[in-house]
Structure formats: structure tokens, C-alpha cells
Amino acid sequence: MRGFTWVRLAVTVAVLAVLGTTAGGLAVAQGGVNLLTNGNFEAGFAAHPAGAVANGWTPFTIPAGSPVTFGQGSGRAGAGQTLAGAQTYRAGIYQLAAGLTPGTAYQAGFYVLLPDAGTSITPLIGIGPLGDTDPSAGIIAWSNAWTRVGDWRHISITFTAVQSTASVFLRVDQGSAGAAATVVLDDAYLRPAGIGPRALLPLIVRAYPRPTPTPTATATATPAPSPTATATRPPTSTPPPTPTPSGGGPIPYWDPRLTQLNVTVEQNPAARYQLMAAFITVNGSWDDVPDWARVYDVPSFPERGGDHHVFGLCLDAQGNVLYQKGFVLSWPDGAAGATPEASGWANLPIYGGAYYPDQGQSGPYRWATLNGNELRGIGMPYNHHVSFFAVWREQAAGTATPTPTATPSPTPSPTPTAGGPTPTFTPSPAVSPTPTPASPSGWQFAADGIIVGYPDCRRTILEGTIRDAAGSPLAGQRVKVWAPQWGQAVSAPSDSSGHWEVLVANAPLAATWQAAVVDAAGNLISPIAGQMYVPQTSPVTAGIPTSTDCVNGHQRLVINWRARQDWPDFVAASARFLSCEENHMNHNLYIWVLDHEGRGLNNIYLRLFLPGGAYTDERTGKDPYKPAGYLDFPMFANESRSVRVRDYSSDLVENLSNTTPPVIDSCGGNAWGHYSYQVVFQASKPLSAMRRLILPFRLFEGGP
């Protein structure tokens, strides 16, 4: 039997740099056109809710809402961009640069004047290699920190372009509060660095007679005896030629060592997410990765040193990291799923699957993002630890075959009645200036107010009122209701008062309900009330419950609907007040965030307000033992909350009070200070079609 060993050839190509030097002794790329617009800040400033921002640049804060003011000040020789604040903040400006040549080294930099005051201020420059616009994305590569004060300092970073565009971030971190301090930015640039990228010879797989039953991996600077030729890649300023893996066409960035390991790419042009880059590391080392892959070797990706793993990153069509995207590792008799870490990368360890690439064998594993083409033939080359990295990107609109839309699953939503301030939804202003009659999901109506229930020992019934966008009763509309324990039915058309109802039974009935407004053909034209994302192993739990207990449970559910013309990114699909039977003296908000197809979205931040405007930010998916998209938020006694999705345009669900509920129950599970609600937000469009809010949302939409 024959084995193989890998010989790491530590050969680099000499690098010649044509660099100038600043007064501070820092190297600056010389020559070439500055690829940044208004890099010297002399092309004017524009008024912005956050202050004055240089033309061609976009302001940002991390997180949205940091207390900082942008302005125009005196630069090195003319105007400069200023940032000022007395509190801690992380903020700056960015722009998307075009005209880069993939494989070419670039230097980006700027000058910064830090105040002499005793503040802890750190300037940084960051590169989004794939045109990322989210400064908190894990893929952003940041420069080293520089904290000296007084005089102008030069901050720079050198990187190798992987595509024709890249985003450049100029960032300032103020780490302590104190007297208001002003920082000035000036003379930002992006130019070829004057150096060619380092060319590393690929890792070579060599066949040789195995001297002992247990071969030992070697890492040596000279080839092992046996075949003499080495398939080396000559020095070049462009990525290596991309092979055409069997079973799929070429991808833009391909590590040639994958071909040596008999790894292939699935041919699936209809997949929404297409593989755009793939490479490996050996024994957790990044020493020999292709130059274009080095943009991922950043501290914000701490898991990257795993030595027998698969890693996956998924981007939308604009290059933003999709933190909620799922990945699947499959093998002949099983599969495992993964979701991204804070870095944006998902990962799973791989065990076993040993094979001999030099004998034409392939590994047993396949790795892909959901609705993406697969990387196939992954495994552990005999006696070696290898990790596989893959990056997918969403195809631009119109290039992929549409994916069938799954029918969303249920999500509860409460409705007002007597007893205290009426909980309400405050819709956000429409994202576009011209309201559309239906959302991108085809919705025309949404649940209006909090869904409530009442005990009724005589019957089980679902009913409510339908109103037009102006609030007037709307006749002629139908509502569909369904439960796995009962079946489904469509109401008669709503009457002149807008009333609709479905009488389920002339007795209390235990069931979990969902409901939606439907058109004449039976198509859903609203988000589903009672929807939540629950694994299919227990679908009966997904809905608004009715009960046979007509003291502590509910038999009459009231769900009101209203026509809408404004559809923010996230709609309050439903919110409901929990019965005594469900609540058990708790005082919680049970919140779900779903995508437009009804699946749970992890790592979506929610902002939960107190009446005075103070707020708490929490994210979905923080509890790994709960389904995706879920957040359990406890309220204290005598507390009222309002909630919205933080980073996107969103409805605001208000008056979620644990002291003044929408109805007063006479039962054992609810009491003063012990009321709970369930709230469900659903995306009105794919996440890739949304624009993430970078600035504090109060600058966009009024909030409390």
C-alpha cells in the first residue's frame, strides 16, 4: 500500500516596494490615482442627521446610536472631517471604492489629528474586501491601533484585492467619557501599494512507498525523495488559474491544492448562493494559503485556526455577511447543521473520513450553505489535519432560478380590550417615499393590535374586525383559520361593521390556531397570526391555543386586521396576551423574528424600550437550546415595554405592560406584575433586499 506526504515549500518571491516616508516615519504608497472619492475632503460636505458629512462618504456608528457628532473642520491644508463626543463611541465614515484589479496589492490610509486632552482615542482603518458596508462584519480587516496624541499621524493598511471593489472604513474609537474631544480626519487615499503580492508555492502531494505502517507527516523545506517535478505557481499579481472542477464550472477564487485533494464543486447554476472562493489550511496554519485568501486571516475570525474543520461564510448580493444563514455538512449516512459565529463564519469539526488523494480517492463529506451549490469530496487526507474554507455569495437578482416560497408557519398575536392602556402597533414610515399597496411578500393586511382571548364554556370561536388603512370598517374580506387538531375553514365575508368570525365548536376545544386574511382565490394576503418557528417534530405547539379549561384557558380569540400601505423591513406579524393557563405567573416577553418565509432568524437585535426612552438591546438565538429566531426577555414588576427590530426599519409594538394588561383575567396564572406577551416580527422581504440601518434609528423613524 502506498501513502503520501506533503512537502511545504517555504519559498517566497522577492518583493520590491516603492515607498515614500512621512514625517512620522511611516511608509506611504506613492503614485497612482487615488481610488477614493473626495479623499482630501475638499469637494464639500452635506447636511446629515448626524451632522456634516463629506460628500462621497457615509457615516456609521457601532452600534447604531453611539453618541457622536460629525462635522467639518480644518484639515492638514483645507477642510477635514471631524468627529466629536463626550461619551464612549465607535464611529467613522466609509465608502465603496471601485476600479481595483484582483490580485494586486493596495495601500489605504488617512491622516488623523488626535486631541491633546487625556482621552482614550484610537484611530483605525478597515478594508471590506468584498465591498461590505457593515463596519461590524467579521470579514472587515482592521489596521493596528495607534493612540499617540497631538500632531498629524498617518494610519494605513496594505491588502490584496480579491475583486474590483472594496470598502474603506475610517474609524475612531473613544474608550472613555470626559470632556468633548474633537478628532480630525484628512487626506484619505487608496492606491496600488507598489508591491506585488507574495507568491507562495503550493503544498505538493507526493506519492511514495510507505516505510512504516504509520507514516508521519513532515513539514520540510525540501521535497521528499520521489517524483521531482513540482507543480509550482509562478509569481503573478493575479489569482492562480481556476480549474474547472468535475461536476461544476470554475469559481472565481480556487485554491489549487483543493484539486490535488480531488475536491470538486457541484454544478448547480440555479442555486441562489454560488460558491465564489474555496481554500484550505494545513495543521491550522495560514502560512501557505493563496494570497487572495489572506483577507480572511483577521483577529475578528478567532476560529480560523481550527485544524480539522469545515468553515463557511455566506454573503448577500451586496457583499454583506448573512449572519443568520444555515450550513449543512453531509456524509453518506448522516448530516449536521451549523449557523455562523459572531465572526460570520459557521464551522463544524470533521472526524475520520481518511482517504488517499494520490490514489484517486475523494473524501466522504459535502459542505454547503442552504440553497447553495456544494463543495464535495472533503475529508481527512491520510494522516493529515486539513481545514476547508468556503465562501458563498448570493446571485444578483434575475440570475438565479427563483426558489419556491414556503408557506410561513404560525405566530400568535394579541388584541385590545378593557383594562388598561391599549397595546398598539406603531407602523414605521414606509421605506420608499411612495407607499405600495402590498408588501414584497404580497401582503395587504396585518394584525391590528394585541390578540386577546376570553373564557367561554359554551363554544370555541375566532373572530375580529377588519378595517381599511384609514381605520374604517371594511366589508367583504375573508379570514382563513386552521389548526392541526381541527382542520381549516374560511370565514364568510366581513359584514358592514368589518366583523368576521369562524365558529369552531359549540363546546370548549383544545387546539393551536393560525389565521390570515385571504383573497377570493384563497391566497394569503397577510402575515400569519399565530405563526412561530418551531421544529417540525412538534408542529402542534405552533399557534394560538384554545383550551378545554374555560376558567384558566381561552375559547374565544379576537384577532383584528387592518389594511396597510407601508411595509417596513420587519412587520409586527402578531402579538398576543397570554392566558392564565399558559403564563403560570410569569412576566416575560416571548419574541420571535422570522424571515419572509417563516423561518427563525438568529442574531437579529431587538431594542426594548421603557416608557422614559431608556432601552435594552437583546439578540435572537442567544439561547442555543431554543429554536432559531427566539428571545425570552423577562420584565420586572411594574414594567411596561415597547419593542422593535433594531437594525432595520421595523414596526414598534407598544404598551406591553405587566401591570395594566389589555384584559383582566379572573384566574390563577395572571396577576398584577405577572403578565406575559408573545410578539412575532416577520420580514416583509428577503434579508438580502434590506438596507441595514447604520445610524441611530431615531434619525430615521421617530421611536420613543
Q: How far apart are CA 601 and CA 120, in angstroms?
A: 36
| Domain total of the chain | 3
Rg over alpha carbons for the chain, rounded to the nearest Å, is 29
Q: What is the pTM of this model?
A: 0.42
Q: Report pLDDT for 20.
A: 29
CB contact set of 672 (below 8 Å; sequence gap of 6+): 659
Which of 394, 416, 440 terminates a domain? The answer is 394
* 530, HSE (Cβ side, Cα atoms, 13 Å): 27
Q: Do 487 and 516 lie in a common domain?
A: yes
Confidence at residue 389, expressed as pLDDT on a 0 to 100 scale: 96
The answer to whether residue 410 is domain-embedded is: no
* One domain for residues 317 and 466: no
CA atoms within 13 A on the CB side of 5: 21
Question: Residue 61 falls within a domain, yes or no?
Answer: yes
pLDDT of residue 243: 33
Answer yes or no: are the C-beta atoms of 242 and 229 closer than 8 Å. no
Residue 534 sits in which domain range? 425-699
- Distance separating alpha carbons of residues 167 and 127, to the nearest angstrom: 6
In a domain, 214, yes or no: yes
Give yes or no: residues 148 and 208 share one domain. Answer: no
Query: Nearest Cα to 628, choosing from 347, 409, 317?
Result: 409
pLDDT beneath 50, residues of the chain: 1-31, 195-249, 398-438, 537-540, 694-704
Written as one string, the DSSP assignment of 477-530 is -EEEEEETTTEEEEPPPP-TT-EEEEEEESS---EEEEEEEE-TT--B-SPPBS
Q: 381 with 273, same domain?
A: yes
pLDDT of the residue at 532: 78
Is residue 685 domain-resident?
yes
Peptide bond into 349 cis (omega under 30): no
Q: Is residue 275 part of a domain?
A: yes
Q: Are residues 112 and 204 in the same domain?
A: no
644: β partners: 607
Q: Are residues 343 and 358 in the same domain?
A: yes
The answer as to whether 407 is a domain residue is: no
SS3 294: helix
How far apart are the C-alpha atoms of 595 and 684, rounded to whole Å?
8
**Are 130 and 209 members of one domain?**
no
Segment holding 605, helix H or strand E: strand 605-609
Classify residue 234 by its DSSP letter. P
Same domain, 167 and 217: no
Q: Are both 187 and 206 inside the same structural domain?
A: no
Burial degree of 83 (CB within 10 A; 0-12, 13-18, 19+): buried
Q: Does a structural domain hold residue 162?
A: yes
Which one of 371, 394, 417 terminates a domain?
A: 394
Domain boundary among 172, 192, 212: 192
Q: What is the pLDDT of residues 368-413, one digit of tens each?
A: 988 889 999 999 887 788 999 999 988 865 444 333 333 333 333 3
Question: Is 595 among the domain residues?
Answer: yes
User: Same structural domain for residues 542 and 640?
Assistant: yes
588: Cβ contacts below 8 Å, ≥ 6 apart? 632, 633, 634, 635, 676
Per-residue pLDDT tens for 292-306?
Answer: 787 788 777 888 888
Angstrom CA distances, 308 to 257, 360, 594, stand at 16, 21, 33
| 80 shares a domain with 31 | yes
Q: Do both 618 and 680 map to the same domain?
A: yes
Residue 173 maps to which CATH number?
2.60.120.260
